[in-house]
Chain A
Amino acid sequence: MAAHGDHGHVTPLKQYYAVFLALMVLTAITTWVAFQDLGFLNNVVALGIAGIKATMVILIFMHVRHSTRVIPVVVLSSLFWLALLLVVTWTDYYSRGWLGVVGR
């Protein structure tokens, strides 16, 4: 941690401005792409861009890139629990009709 100084890493201004610019450009792209017909890929692209934007915000604005190692673990754990919440619910809704459950 010594490399980060005594009080944590100070992000250079340029990096903040670069992330801001990238977020703006990606917002413009995602809105533009929404009007193009890419079939089911529209959703993939929209969520992909949102994912890239989120990653930049988390790494730079939220300082995870220069944080202690435990912070990325916490961030990933939130994704893990979110995935559990979503995937288990989805499989339930998707497969419930497969069995003739009484009362359904």
Chain B
Amino acid sequence: MSHEGEAVVGLHHQFDTTLQQKEAASFGMWLFLVTEALFFGGLFCAYTIYRWSYPESFTAASRTLNIQLGTFNTAVLIGSSLTMALAVRAAQLGKNKLCALLLALTILLGAVFLGVKAKEYADKFEHHHVPGPTFHFEGEGASHAQMYFCLYFAMTGLHAFHMIIGAGLLTFVIVQALRNKYSPSNYNFVEGVGLYWHFVDLVWIFLFPLLYLIGRHH
């Protein structure tokens, strides 16, 4: 409970305690993530429908992806989630410098992920696997391979777009951390950005098996 006339640093007037303020912030962020889950959910839904309709095409198209790069990127993203979690912990303990360093590392890992993704996209352009007038796919399952690549680019593209936004948010948090803005009583913004970054990791955890690991055993 608050005490009249006693100002707690970083506590906004509508909250009784910093803990309540923190919980409200997390709650709000989680509500946003629900809408994000449904946003991606629409694409996952489309994916399931088309994969059921054209299983051969999806298998054939999926196997053109580079599984080494995909696995590597999954590891990189999980690594960035770890550094993110550690950064939130540092902010929670008021260690602003450590927090900034870990966030910089998170951005770096995110950049590696996007760089690898760019390489994969470039390969797709080179092999004419990008949907559109220049699309070309031969062999078994060629009939609806374009549908797989539509979903591949829509899903990984939207995911990458989220990461770019995340990198922007992280940059802002780094600046704030270097200004010593975070303390055990108020690190809510770091926590919120952390939730967002982990959510992006969650999406990839499902994208990886669904896009890269179809029918590899044939």
Q: Do A and B come from one complex?
A: yes
Binding site for B on A (CB under 8 A): 1, 4, 6-8, 10-11, 13, 16-17, 19-20, 23-24, 27-28, 30-31, 34-38, 42, 46-47, 49-50, 53-54, 57-58, 60-63, 67-68, 70-71, 74-75, 77-78, 81-82, 85-86, 89-90, 93
Q: A67-B26, A68-B23 are in contact. Are A57 and B82 (CB under 8 A)?
A: no
Of B34, B41, B89, which is within 8 A of A13 by CB?
A: B89
Q: A16-B89, A35-B217, A85-B45 are in contact. Are A78 and B185 (CB under 8 A)?
A: no
- Interface of B, secondary structure class, is helix
Beyond A4-B19, A20-B82, A61-B194, 20 additional contacts (C-beta under 8 Å) are: A7-B19, A7-B92, A8-B23, A23-B81, A27-B78, A27-B208, A38-B217, A42-B213, A50-B205, A50-B208, A50-B209, A60-B85, A61-B81, A61-B82, A62-B194, A71-B30, A78-B34, A81-B34, A81-B41, A85-B41
Binding site for A on B (CB under 8 A): 17-19, 22-23, 26-27, 30-31, 33-34, 37-38, 41-42, 44-45, 48-49, 52, 67, 71, 74-75, 78-79, 81-82, 84-86, 89, 92-93, 184-185, 191, 194-195, 198-199, 201-202, 205-206, 208-210, 212-213, 215-218
